[in-house]
Amino acid sequence: MTAFSSEYHVSDDEIKNTKGYNIAAVLLAVMLVALTITTVVLGSKNAYELETVPSFELAIDEGRYQDALQIYRGIQDEVLKSSPDNQTANAARIQMLDDMEGIVKERVDTICNRIISNRYVLSASDINFLDSMKELTSSVVSERLYNICEDFLLGKVEKPVVTYFFNQVQPIGNFSATANPLLRELDFIETATGDVQSAEKYLSNGDYISAVKKYTQVDSSYDGFVGEYCDKRITTIKEAMYEPMMAEGDHLIQTLKFYSAEKLFSDLAVIFPEDELIKSSLLEATSHTSEVTEYRGKIECICVRSLIADTDVAFAARYHSSNTSLYLTGKEFESILENLYERGYVLVDVEDLIDQSDPSYLLERNLKVPKGKKPLIVVIEDLQYSASAYNCGTCRRLVLNDENQVCGEYKNSAGETIVSRTAEAIGLLDVFVERHPDFTYDGAKGIISVSGHEAVFGYVVAAGELEDRNAALSAVNLPQLTNITNDDIDFARDTVTQIVNVLKDNGWKFASCTYSYIQDCRNTEKEVLVDDHTKWMDQIGSLFGEVHILVYPNGNYIYGTDDRAVYFKNRGFRIFFGGGATPYHIYGDNYLFVDRAMMSYKTLNRKAYENLFDYTQIIDPARTKNSDQAQG
């Protein structure tokens, strides 16, 4: 091949590339043509859309109702005839229909609102518009007729207003087809208003089940409008209630409130009879419940202070304090629980003994317990964690572990910080109930009484506590708290609030034992008590919410008729705890009084406690392990 010919030789790859360019050019040209056509079409369609709705509105403004209807129906026909595949065009047409319907609805609503609010009399022009726009006005007026009947049923409008509205619109065109049947039902609607409004009140309070029950009861008594309304509300409520009610039921089971869970799932099983998950949850709840009977008799109430968490600290010679006799060890408290359980006692909520619905008058309520069981109330006294008790081996504060369980935290004899659920009575009782769910009636645990002059749960939660806390720390040769900021106090308050919420969720109740833990309230002037309670409310009260229980320190109670006791009652306290070795409770003037039996090493061998436990099985051997340890 000559040099000339090789200079202009085109390779096979170059030929292929040239063909590719040609194809791309053709495709690009086709796309440009299509885009041009689409732009023209869309431009025409947009112009069409822009003209249609204003033309419709102008026709209405000028009273050319037949023209307006013709425009609306023309678009409607296009939608019906168009191919389902042409989604873009259909969407535009449907939007035009919506816009036109919106224009008519706005005008009809204005007329209807004037009739309802101002007793407006329809003009000839109004009547012509409402009558001439046929199906467009008819649908809106029909909806308003149903709405005003619903408002009447719910007590939002009076019957004369409803009647007047019907009288104005009923004679027009084909409105009578909707109005006449509803007019005939107004008396039935009026009769049902009370029950329907009761159902709605249940619903507004979050009581879905009572709302459905009430609506079902009404539905069984009425046909027509009321029956249809009830059916609609029942469907709506059932859709809204299912998930939150199931979550609530699961939580009741998790927190051992089996009797409440049984009732809840029983109600849900009626409302959702085919639901297998509800049936399964109901079975789980009922497997932990038994027959319940009313109890009339004495109610045992025991009271313990903070527990001795570390017996080495409590009873070692270098630490030993005579105050250890005021406290039980964890083993002793657990042994008491074992004895009580074996003897058929069951934890109950003291607030189940009263009806507090009326703040001015307290009603006695018969206590219910599982058949064969005896009620027991547990009080844990003064959980502030004073530094003065550290040498007794008690906890220094409450904390939450990684599983959101309340634990006690203490320093052992080696100076190590230990966190344990079983270091404190709260966790010990929680764990015991988890092992023996039948030791609690519907998840009840106990009452935690709280003072605040030094700390709450071991935390300084108010600036007013600092001086007392530092004095207590100094007395046991521990470093004082310095440079405490408002942020530190806020953090402590948040921590206590979290602990309180967990305790409440798990069946614990709270009580005041006065801010300063007044040793002898009976011989304390009213002014001092008032000032002390004011501090309790100002500094720590908001951490616990509404508190209705007052535990008198050391059992030194004030008689209910005493002006000082009346002061406490007027501040919302309805249950008062005194002190006594034998079970005793009495209903007074707007209050319940209960004696609590103080449990300490010094009192365990009282004859009055023989029905509760065997003293010889209770004493912790750690107290008398060797002769170097004091008796306690």
Burial class (CB in 10 A: 0-12, 13-18, 19+), 277: middle
| Packed helices 12-61 and 87-118: angle between N→C axes, nearest 10 degrees | 20
What percent of the chain is modeled with pLDDT above 70? 90
- Average pLDDT of the segment spanning 283-292: 96
pLDDT exceeds cutoff 90 at 87: no
Select the more confidently predicted residue: 479 or 173: 479
- pLDDT per position as a tens digit, 413-433: 888 999 999 999 999 999 999
Q: How many angstroms separate the CA atoms of 25 and 31, rounded?
A: 10
- Could you tell me which residues come within 8 angstroms of residue 469 by beta carbon, excluding any fewer than 6 positions away? 387, 454, 455, 460, 481
E-assigned strands of 412-495? 417-420, 447-450
pLDDT exceeds cutoff 50 at 444: yes
> Are the C-beta atoms of residues 362 and 569 closer than 8 Å to each other?
no
- Average pLDDT of the segment spanning 104-130: 96
Q: Which value, to the nearest 10 degrees, does the dihedral of the CA atoms of residues 132, 135, 137, 140 take?
A: 170
pLDDT exceeds cutoff 90 at 381: yes
pLDDT band at 624 (very low <50, low <70, confident <90, very high): confident
Q: How many angstroms separate the CA atoms of 336 and 311, rounded?
A: 18
Q: Where are the alpha helices (DSSP H) in 154-257?
A: 159-169, 176-204, 208-219, 224-254
Residue 280: HSE in the Cβ half-sphere, 13 Å Cα cutoff: 5
* pTM for the full predicted model: 0.81
pLDDT exceeds cutoff 80 at 2: no
Select the more confidently predicted residue: 318 or 231: 231
SS3 367: strand
pLDDT exceeds cutoff 50 at 228: yes
Phi, psi of 593, deg, nearest 5: -115, 135
What percent of the chain is modeled with pLDDT above 90? 81
Nearest Cα neighbor of 456 from 358, 518, 560, 385 is 385
**What pLDDT sits at residue 315?**
87
Nearest Cα neighbor of 116 from 147, 71, 76, 82 is 147
